[in-house]
Amino acid sequence: MPLDIAFNQDNTRAALRLSDANGNIITAELIAALRAAIEDLSTERHLRLVTLEAVGSDFSFGASVPEHAPGQIETVLPALHALIVDLLALSAPTAALVQGRCLGGGFELALACDFLFAAETAELGLPEIALGVFPPAASVLLPQRIGVSRSTSAILGGQTVSAAEWRRQGLVEIVATHGRVQQAVDEWFARTLARWSAEALRHAVRVARAPIVAAVRDQLPEVERIYLQELMPSHDAREGIQAFLDKRQPAWRDE
């Protein structure tokens, strides 16, 4: 299984752990496992926090590039977007705990969480432009988090950025020293969410997410259509993905 699920002693916290230590690639299998786990958690009325974590040195290298092939991406991308919707519909606060690299589709999952905690050594970014594509969910989620100008720079620039810089931009809640992210979250939880009613948190988080939920509902279907029907049939999208798989530089035609 690419996913582990654990509860704390009083069932006020649940952890969804990406458990493929080889980069925690966001595959169709992992997406399905996460959606099933979130559905199970939806009935846990005592939850005050659900964390998205990862084993290994990196949170996630991003979406599976081989699954971007024609005949697969048409299924995988809508499934990923459905997972984003599921995360936003979960009736408990959510947080991503990031160490190492958090890229592409992995970053999109983190962006769908209410809070983002990161190790000081973490690096987060959206490198899709180097493959001749763009990050559809992040194109909707990131502007809601940090504004249009900064999001445009991240999406078009494709750079990987330190946790400290994302903190300065308002995206990351806490940057912890390496190896202390879990401890930092435990301390933060004890002085905040652990003290409040889970019933109150359910309603509060629903209202707090409302602008992001509205943006995803109104914009993501069209963004997905542009990606699948306009971008993916292009030469450069196919070339960028194939060049990545071939471990060579892409030969762009601008078409």
Q: 35: domain CATH number?
A: 3.90.226.10
Joined tokens for residue 209? 């997410």
> Are β-strands 160-162 and 123-125 bridged in parallel, bridged antiparallel, or unpaired?
antiparallel
Residue 148 lies in a domain: yes
Mean pLDDT rounded to a whole number for the chain: 96
Q: How confident is the model at residue 255 (pLDDT cuts 50, 70, 90)?
A: very high
Question: Which range (64-73, 88-97, 184-193) has the least confidence?
Answer: 64-73
pLDDT at 225 over 80: yes
Residue 105 lies in a domain: yes
Residue 55 lies in a domain: yes
The predicted pLDDT at position 58 comes to 96
Residue 172 lies in a domain: yes
Residue 214 lies in a domain: no
The predicted pLDDT at position 30 comes to 96
Q: What is the pLDDT of residues 150-168, one digit of tens each?
A: 999 999 999 999 999 999 9
Structural domain range at position 154: 3-195
Q: Are 166 and 179 in contact (CB under 8 A)?
A: no
pLDDT at 88 over 80: yes
Q: Which residues pair with 50 in a beta bridge?
A: 14, 94
The predicted pLDDT at position 221 comes to 98
Domain total in the chain: 1
Q: What is the pLDDT of residues 6-46, one digit of tens each?
A: 999 999 999 999 998 789 999 999 999 999 999 999 999 99
Q: How far is CA 216 from CA 141, 179, 192, 247, in A?
A: 7, 33, 28, 34
pTM comes to 0.96
Residue 206 lies in a domain: no
Joined tokens for residue 68? 């971007």
Give me the mean pLDDT over the 202-206 stretch.
98
Residue 244 lies in a domain: no
Q: How confident is the model at residue 70 (pLDDT cuts 50, 70, 90)?
A: confident
Q: What is the pLDDT of residues 187-200, one digit of tens each?
A: 999 999 999 999 99
Residue 28 lies in a domain: yes
The string of DSSP codes covering the chain is: --EEEEE-TTSSEEEEEE--TTT--B-HHHHHHHHHHHHHHTT-TT-SEEEEEESSS-SB--B-SGGGSTTTHHHHHHHHHHHHHHHHH-SS-EEEEE-SEEEHHHHHHHHTSSEEEEETT-EEE-GGGGGT---HHHHHHHHHHH-HHHHHHHHHH--EEEHHHHHHTT--SEEE-TT-HHHHHHHHHHHTGGGS-HHHHHHHHHHHTHHHHHHHHHHHHHHHHIIIIIITTSHHHHHHHHHHHHTS-------
